[in-house]
């Protein structure tokens, strides 16, 4: 839709014509220099004092919160005047002015334009932009990281393995969480076959197993958030006489 020029009458009957080029009056007045035309022939420049333009009192920050915690992302400005302050995440507008746009009941504005998120989850991680709607938008960006305790998502053979003597065995353990969990293997009431007490790896390899390898192997996932996650694998070694050897199962 074509926007008509904005005209203001002067003291001598002259008219100032603002060539809006599709901009609103607020957009026009937000420019540092505004081109004006008097009766289509006289041209002038109006200076806008930068000290009167909005400015942020808050700087960009990184926030790290635990899953299900509450977080407040601050955005304080001075000289906001007629300009609109908006919160965005990606292409989604969360608020415009004092109006909350997001349908998420966990999101709200508090104490002015600070953005509150309750019961934070992994889906809330990302960049949040607080933007002042000047012609050349001014903005700050907060990064939100959600810290999630470790959770083991997979262990080999659902925690129970039966293998023949002399074969090689791969015990695998996978876990999720933020930060990425560290996987540590240990053996209940015994050392690992290599003589170590623990091994930091997602896949524990046992070569040419025999009855001395049988037992309970424990996978521990840890990332410093909440409690460690633990899963066990019962390894049974079948020898040539079809006997099962169990060592240190209890």
* Domains, the chain, ordered by start: 6-48 (no CATH), 52-147 (2.60.40.10), 149-245 (2.60.40.10)
Sort residue 101 into left (φ over 0), alpha (ψ -120 to 50) or beta: alpha
Query: 55 or 8, which is more confident?
Result: 55
- Number of helices and strands (H, E) in the chain? 1, 23
pLDDT at 48: 57
Q: Tell me, what DSSP letter sits at residue 157? A: G
CA nearest to 78, candidates 51, 115, 100: 51
**1 alpha-carbon distance from chain centroid:** 39
Q: Is the pLDDT of residue 170 over 50?
A: yes
Q: Is the pLDDT of residue 5 over 50?
A: no
pLDDT at 136: 85
Residue whose structure tokens are 């009431």: 189
Using an 8 Å Cβ cutoff, are 141 and 129 in contact? Answer: yes
pLDDT at 194: 85
**Mean predicted confidence (pLDDT) in 157-167:** 93
Q: Strand 229-238 vs strand 160-164: parallel, antiparallel, or unpaired?
A: parallel
Q: Strand 138-155 vs strand 62-66: parallel, antiparallel, or unpaired?
A: parallel
**What does the pLDDT look like over 17-75, one tens digit per residue?**
444 445 444 443 333 333 333 234 344 454 556 667 899 999 999 999 999 999 999 99
Q: Is the pLDDT of residue 4 over 70?
A: no
Q: What's the length of the chain?
A: 250
pLDDT at 53: 86
**Mean predicted confidence (pLDDT) in 156-185:** 95
Contacts of 209 (CB under 8 A, 6+ apart): 163, 165, 166, 167, 168, 169, 235, 237
pLDDT at 52: 76
**What does the pLDDT look like over 122-138, one tens digit per residue?**
999 999 999 999 888 89
**What does the pLDDT look like over 199-243, one tens digit per residue?**
999 999 999 999 999 999 999 999 999 999 999 999 999 986 544
Q: Is the pLDDT of residue 6 over 80?
A: no
Q: Tell me, what DSSP letter sits at residue 119? A: S
**What does the pLDDT look like over 80-125, one tens digit per residue?**
999 999 999 999 999 999 999 999 999 999 999 999 999 999 999 9
pLDDT at 51: 67
Using an 8 Å Cβ cutoff, are 220 and 228 in contact? Answer: yes
- Max CA-CA distance within the chain? 114
């Amino acid at each position: 839709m074509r926007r008509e020029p904005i005209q203001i009458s002067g003291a001598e009957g002259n008219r100032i014509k603002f060539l809006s080029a599709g901009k609103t009056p607020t957009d026009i007045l937000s420019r540092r220099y505004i081109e004006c035309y008097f009766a289509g022939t006289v041209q002038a420049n109006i200076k806008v004092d930068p000290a009167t333009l909005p400015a942020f009192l808050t700087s960009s920050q990184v926030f790290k919160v635990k899953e299900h915690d509450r977080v407040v992302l601050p955005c304080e400005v001075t000289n906001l005047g007629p300009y609109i302050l908006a919160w965005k995440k990606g292409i989604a507008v969360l608020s415009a002015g004092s109006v909350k746009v997001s349908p998420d009941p966990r999101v709200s504005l508090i104490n002015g334009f600070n953005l509150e998120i309750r019961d934070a989850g992994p889906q809330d991680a990302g960049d949040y932009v607080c933007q002042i709607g000047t012609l050349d938008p001014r903005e700050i960006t907060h990064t939100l990281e959600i810290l999630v305790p470790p959770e083991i998502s997979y262990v080999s053979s659902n925690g129970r393995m039966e293998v023949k003597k002399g074969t090689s065995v791969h015990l695998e353990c996978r876990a999720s969480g933020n930060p990425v969990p560290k996987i540590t293997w240990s053996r209940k009431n015994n050392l690992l076959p290599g003589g170590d007490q623990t091994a930091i790896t997602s896949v524990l390899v046992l070569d040419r197993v025999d009855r001395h390898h049988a037992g309970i192997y424990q996978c521990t996932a840890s990332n410093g958030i909440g409690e460690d996650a633990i899963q066990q694998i019962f390894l049974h070694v079948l020898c040539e006489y079809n006997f099962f050897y169990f060592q240190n199962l209890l």
